[in-house]
Chains A and B, each alone.
Chain A
């Protein structure tokens, strides 16, 4: 990268995340003025958006090529008091915590106290939600049975398609006018609502144009003051771009990137949508601009790379908004999950890998930033050299890009009722979630703690952490004659809590659609304009609600252990097992050893455990999939944890698989940490026994030591391993090439790292089985390799 990019990158890396109350203050000002009370809710939201974008600080960093920050400076992160308010205690936690802190100065804390909280407390949607969901919901929530995504972040989760590269805001506004003209006020009882919504959408378009023009003005004044001739020319050009887009459709590569960036800032300023919005299939969207610009000579490949690098840095300047309460605990990261998709197939199902796909992989490797995240879509149609290029980046231990199965994603989306074309234009976003880009609202509503259900079953409906009865009384487990009886009790608890979750979701979805519509998002997602309906109210072409299952490995191993040790082999009575769990195996070391080492485990391609995995998956799936949500769509399942398996583990006591109280659960569909002992093919065979095509995404993590990936041959064989998993419909796989640091942890704490294999010619062994000396030797060599 050149000096300019290197400096901008360094600025981004050095910037300390802080809380900025600019947005909160402007918003409060607007709502206090009474303007919001004079108009319909969607129009009020649109005017608030206009108010923000007309007044917020414009930030243009030295040397920048793509302009616009969400806050007044890089990593200055706004709050969204209409959604949730931060108490002084929240601020203190955010400021003081060791990991993922946000700097909050005294002045900020004081403004929060004097201006923001008095107005929004009780009015924020979080307060409204917590007052509406009911006692049983709150009890389950507080016990850690599930989390709730929409209590402090907006139901976003969507990704843009190619529409902004074909249309300017003026074009969208013309479509809106057409729709308004066609409204039938005499026969359509919804016409007035539609009219308000469409007007609101149009106002947000104006707001974005104003925002761009304010950048243009500043660029023009910077240009006038600029001494350096080259930079002056650049600034003039950038000002021209900001005058042209987003009002009009882009014609060049640079214009396309800048247009997207304004749209991105619009989305993350309007609301704090979860799993942030991103451009999706970037190598597809930009390809025509790239080729045309090269041909006409306005751009070189070097220029394109520089612009992409500048674009990348912009993402890194926007940390995920600071959370509060339980959500702060379970989702502890600066990353906002903007997952750039590269590769895959085009709308007609052909190989879509192109020269830009490879350039973007270079950018990912070179920038090595936390944000944006990146992934490659791998279809059976895609060439191996593309996969291998991606694997070479993974080999460096950066953890990106993750690898997705395009062919599976398409089948998942089609099963859910999407058209084949919409499915092919889609991909994965957030962590692993399949979506029809630009046309779907696919809202994650919360993580669901499946092993907690098992624990509540063990205690006949009581949460042992609090001693409260929070579930149903499904029976004394000591009295169950067969494993089938036990499983039936588990199933009834599962149904009970899923019902509570879904009932709560309905209340919450309704509140969002009534109180906080998102007209700007509705401008971007089909078919909100055609339907005259807000994104948060079901305006999108497809509307899916997800409940994300967590701890599949842990619950499978625990149920397997009960079946094996209590019923089949009768190694231990249920009563004694319960006693051991209650005391966290304090005096039951031998029993724990049996549960850990002498019991079949998921992840070893052993049908004894994997059959139970399939049972649990079916139960979870049947309880959720296809139930209607409030937006005309349906509930779906996916299996991913982000970092929630840590929080969920902290609220569960000892489990029948030998897991100690409080330690993290298994993550995604990965086996319990250290439980898989037969290598990656066995893990993948086990994982492939889940019917991935009926989910909206699964997450599988695999650890490798760098030695396994050494040389071209290691890359080729890893590629073949992935292709095999994808042949079996595996949805996603992500590789952690273990670092020396991880190996050091394994040396200290072998129990959780028993799956770590060291491979060399004619010999391979589990890392934890090696002597200290040799472990140290391997750590040393690993440090050299990475």
Chain B
């Protein structure tokens, strides 16, 4: 039987969401509320009617439907369209969001079907989920892209709305049951890219085994535009993007500890 879920978009020729050429399915709904979120329209579960800037007219606002209900049959048939590209590039499908594990039945159905089709799967997660969910996905996910933001609990709460305790437990659990995990660190100027935060992350990582790949994501300003379009508050203000040297210095810090570091985006 085909499950149903709510997604905001499906993007083809996704080249920054895991290995090779991929199709990325954006699930709707996320427990976190990060200030720098690139997909703020994906926070809430369910199809929404949102007031947005009317860019065609150039002034005023209009109503826009965000999200759509879709069956896993339909998602799979779309995914299958680009098989030739996955085969050529070692790519596949990425389930992203939002937080895809919030729609677990739908996600599990999709993962199982991809397994049957022998399509490589990536789950891009905030880490804020249950161990039960992680268990149910065991053997169905080829790679987790695991977001990791701030070590300090209070700051984590401030910038994302929730504590990072569960996220850390889940990361440890995932590694413990032998999953492939790439850690993704969004570098937000003055928040996550501080000397203090990076030092703490490195210390924490030294206590874990099984992490070898880290992807650092330099700050970019595109989230501002979306916040504006969806008439949402920009709590971050107008931050400037990091200098190249800042990024390479950070990269070096991880490299010197023996991690494979990729600059994403």
Contacts and interface: CB of A to CB of B under 8 A. Distances in A.
A774 B222 contact: yes
Contacts of B84: 724, 727-728
Interface stretch (A193-201, A213-221, A400-408, A761-769): A761-769
B31 to A, nearest CB: 17
Interface stretch (A11-19, A23-31, A680-688): A680-688
B265 A679 contact: no
Interface in B55-78: 55
B82 interface: yes
Given A762-B217, A769-B55, A680 B229 contact: no
A771 interface: yes
Nearest to B224: A774
A463 interface: no
B16 interface: yes
A777 B84 CA distance: 35
A724 B85 contact: yes
Nearest to B85: A724
B231 interface: no
Nearest to A723: B88
Contact of B20 (A685, A720, A773): A720
Interface in B89-115: 89, 91, 96
B160 interface: no
A759 B16 CA distance: 9
Given A681-B12, A728-B84, A721 B222 contact: no
Contacts of B265: 760-762
B55 A717 contact: no
B246 interface: no
A724 to B, nearest CB: 4
A605 interface: yes
Contacts of B224: 774
A719 B220 CA distance: 26
B182 interface: no
B21 A761 contact: no
A171 to B, nearest CB: 47
B17 interface: yes
Contacts, number: 89
Nearest to A716: B89
A99 to B, nearest CB: 32
A727 B264 CA distance: 28
A763 B55 contact: no
Given A679-B12, A759-B16, A720 B85 contact: yes
A328 interface: no
A interface, over-half SS: helix
Contacts of A131: none
A685 B15 contact: no
B221 interface: yes
Given A681-B21, A724-B89, A765 B228 contact: no
B12 A678 contact: yes
Contacts of A727: 84, 88
A714 interface: yes
A770 interface: yes
B228 A771 contact: yes
B88 A760 contact: no
Most chain A beta-carbon contacts within 10 A, residue among B14, B81, B88, B226: B88
Contact of B39 (A681, A717, A720, A763): A763
Interface in A728-785: 728, 758-765, 769-771, 773-774, 777
A766 to B, nearest CB: 11
B228 A681 contact: no
A717 B87 CA distance: 12
B43 interface: no
Nearest to B83: A724
A717 B12 contact: no
B88 A720 contact: yes
Given A605-B81, A681-B12, A762 B17 contact: yes
Range of interface residues on chain A? 20 to 34
Interface in B119-173: 124
B38 interface: yes
A765 B13 contact: no
Most chain B beta-carbon contacts within 10 A, residue among A685, A720, A761, A771: A761
Contacts of A759: 15-16
A684 to B, nearest CB: 8
Nearest to B96: A762
Given A720-B88, A724-B89, A708 B15 contact: yes
A717 B220 CA distance: 22
A727 B83 CA distance: 12
Given A681-B82, A720-B85, A761 B217 contact: yes
Contact of A721 (B21, B38, B81, B264): B21
Given A708-B15, A717-B15, A761 B89 contact: no
Interface string A683-711: 00100000000000000000000001001
A343 to B, nearest CB: 19
A553 B124 CA distance: 37
A760 B226 CA distance: 14
A715 to B, nearest CB: 11
A465 interface: no
Contacts of A720: 20-21, 85, 88-89, 91
A81 B47 CA distance: 70
Contact of B21 (A678, A711, A717, A762): A717
B11 interface: yes
Nearest to A722: B88
A3 interface: no
A680 B264 CA distance: 21
Contacts of B220: 760-761, 763
A717 B196 CA distance: 36
A605 B12 CA distance: 11
A762 B53 CA distance: 23
Given A728-B84, A759-B16, A762-B124, 8 more contacts: A717-B15, A717-B89, A724-B88, A727-B88, A760-B222, A761-B217, A762-B96, A762-B265
A-B pairs, top 3 by smallest CB distance, nearest first, are: A761-B265, A720-B89, A763-B38
